[in-house]
Amino acid sequence: MTAVPVVAAEASSIGRVFVRHGHGHGPSAWQLQAEQVALPAILQTLQADSGVIIHHSLTAEKPVSATCAADNLPSLLKCLLGESVNLVFGPRQGGVPSEVWILGSTAATKTSLECLKPDVVVSGDKLGREMEIQRLREQAGSNDPRQRGNALYALAETGADDVDDVLSNGLKDASALVREQALGGWVRLYGADAAIPELYQAINDPVASVRLRAVELSVEPLLLRQASQDSDNAVRQLAKVRLEELEN
């Protein structure tokens, strides 16, 4: 994915957000450029331009600048929100998803975005692996929620001796972003069937994005039925989609 300038003369715009997309695929099929605009406003522009309903719980009003290009809308969203963002798509119409739910984005802490890449990689050799686990432990104690969340999710894959304690602490973290990533790491490590208590804890979280993450990860019909009555519309809609998937 390559970031390229967008030609504003051929773009739709709201404020200082410019979006252009053509037909078919290729590196220039979707292009976006934003200058000092809050992420919710950027997503509003994408929704209006694409016709795809975009559900999210981003409330950050901090303006960001972004330059992204991709061959389709999902790839553009990953460029904008970070490769580690979780995207859940609704039913497709004519090969294009009618809706998309954005879960677990770390982009709210950024002020400049240009096709973000995940920054956590676990080394394969034994010594490198031990050093990487130690680095991840230290990163899990960072003051930056993005770093804490990425580290927790990566630690789940390492099988470190203290991973249970680290993830358990992450599930109670003050940052909703960290709680989302810790929940993803827990389910990644133990599976959704063995993580029902943690998923129920998350489905009662006060922050909608954490509840969305629980709905995305759960395969428990009772939990999803509870979520289908959630106070947040995005949570309700995603729960209904997940229930339909399980029933089919």
CA atoms of 231 and 229, how far apart (whole Å) = 7
Q: For the ranges 7-16, 24-33, 57-66, 161-170, which has the lowest average pLDDT? A: 7-16
Q: In terms of pLDDT, which residue wins out, 131 or 216? A: 216
Q: For the ranges 10-14, 44-48, 53-57, 232-236, which has the lowest average pLDDT? A: 10-14
Query: What pLDDT does 48 receive?
Result: 84
Q: For a pLDDT cut of 70, what percent of the chain falls above it?
A: 74
Q: Is residue 151 over pLDDT 60?
A: yes
CA atoms of 99 and 42, how far apart (whole Å) = 16
Query: What pLDDT does 10 receive?
Result: 33
Q: In terms of pLDDT, which residue wins out, 245 or 58? A: 245
CA atoms of 191 and 128, how far apart (whole Å) = 27
For residue 18, the SS3 value is strand
Tokens 């629980």 correspond to: 214
Query: What pLDDT does 101 receive?
Result: 82
Query: What pLDDT does 30 receive?
Result: 75
- Of 13, 64, 18, the C-alpha closest to 39 is 64
Whether residue 57 contacts residue 64, with contact meaning beta carbons closer than 8 Å, is answered with no
Q: Is residue 169 over pLDDT 80?
A: yes
Rounded (5°) CA angle 58-11-113: 40
Q: For the ranges 60-69, 140-149, 236-245, which has the lowest average pLDDT? A: 60-69
Whether residue 47 contacts residue 94, with contact meaning beta carbons closer than 8 Å, is answered with no
- For all residues of the chain together, what is the average pLDDT? 76
List, for residues 177-214, the tens digit of each pLDDT value: 899 989 988 998 889 999 999 999 999 999 998 999 89
Q: In terms of pLDDT, which residue wins out, 112 or 220? A: 220
Over range 206-227, report the average pLDDT: 92
User: Hey, which residues does 68 pair with through a beta bridge?
Assistant: 32
The whole model's pTM is what? 0.60
Residue 184 tokens read as 């993803």
Q: DSSP alpha helices (H): ranges in 38-173?
A: 39-50, 73-81, 126-139, 145-158, 163-171
CA atoms of 113 and 24, how far apart (whole Å) = 25
Over range 30-37, report the average pLDDT: 78
List, for residues 72-113, the tens digit of each pLDDT value: 777 788 778 876 677 777 776 666 677 888 876 555 445 444
Locate CATH 3.55.50 in the chain: 8-113
8 falls in which pLDDT band (50, 70, 90)?
A: very low
Query: What pLDDT does 120 receive?
Result: 37
Q: Is residue 27 over pLDDT 80?
A: no
What is the architecture, at CATH level 2, of domain 126-247? Alpha Horseshoe (1.25)
Locate CATH 1.25.10.10 in the chain: 126-247
The CATH code belonging to domain 8-113 is 3.55.50
Q: In terms of DSSP bridges, do strands 30-37 and 17-21 run parallel, antiparallel, or are they unpaired?
A: antiparallel
